Structure 1
Amino acid sequence: MKKTLVSALTTALVVGAASTTFAATNPFSDVPADHWAYDAVSQLAADGVIEGYGDSTFKGNQNITRYEMAQMIAKAMAKTDVSASDKALIDKLAAEFSDELNTLGVRVSNLERNADKVKWNGEARYTYTSTRDKSKADSKSNDDELLLRLEPSAEVNKNWHVNARLDASTDLAKDSTDPNGKHG
């Protein structure tokens, strides 16, 4: 499926690659300053999302290939200063053009697309134990234990699921900063 470069430009504008400030000089000889897309084309060129052709032309009426569109998507994916809604649109385009992006060497794996979908479970447990020895007067011992457990899980792809567990525990009576082991 071919798209025209003007369509690609419109898509790039929708994904927020253009900002409200525009380049001062004309990067392409075939896009006059009074053209409806001049500001957007200039900004996209300044942002490095589009490059045009070696003869300093943009050729906005020429059809482009899916591979050329994937190149623009890859450059938009590299941008870090995009809004959440623009990121969602870029991710949607990346999914559509994943084969071409993979050919370009741009990684679009499920892990990268779903990095924000890691699930976290866990628990915090406090245990207090008091032991009294009735054979000895006033003989008792207390024990305070704290356990913190975090359990992240993520699906890498349909064949791989990753689970992890991180445990941290302490015996509050023994892990004291007081040299005599007393709390105070």
Structure 2
Amino acid sequence: MSILSDKTILERIRLQKDLIIEPLDDNDIQPCSIDLHLSEELKTIQGQQYNLKPYSYLVLEPGDFILGSTREYVVIPDDLVAVVDGKSSLGRLGITAHVTAGYIDAGFHGNITLEIANLSDEPFRLQKDMPIAQIVFHTLTSPVNRPYGSSGLNSHYQNSKGTILSKKKDEKN
């Protein structure tokens, strides 16, 4: 596997049109990643919803955890896999944007749900459209036979719109 450069990312988006990131601002294209932004919808793991309006914010207290999603809708082609991770500037403040599950399979379509936690000892303000994460693309040795969303794969989050709660059923230990 190799990581796509900014040049190749732009070729895949603009020429091949098989990689989709919408909306996309050219200023968000980094040397080997694309910055992603926080959408307006946040949810607790129990499903309580918060909507960030323009010029408003939600304070994430130390130790708090909340689900959010990317403003961007992403389509990953069958020959790429993506990894989503937090921005280093937020990590240095103790804010994680993707606690786990940062791997985005080939064939995924949708908004990416983020697991946001405040690991610091200071409150932090989450604002709509703030840069919250980055996505890196890796080429596969060949296109996958069964992309995410294929029949029989149990792809719970295909075509996700907004912040999606866990689809894992309650299990007893």
Same fold (TM > 0.5): no
Q: With a CA cutoff of 8 Å and minimum separation of 6, indicate the structure with the bigger relative contact order.
A: 2
Q: Which has the larger radius of gyration?
A: 1
TM-score range, shorter chain: under 0.3
Q: TM-score, normalised by structure 2?
A: 0.24
Which structure is higher in helix share? 1
Which structure is higher in strand share? 2
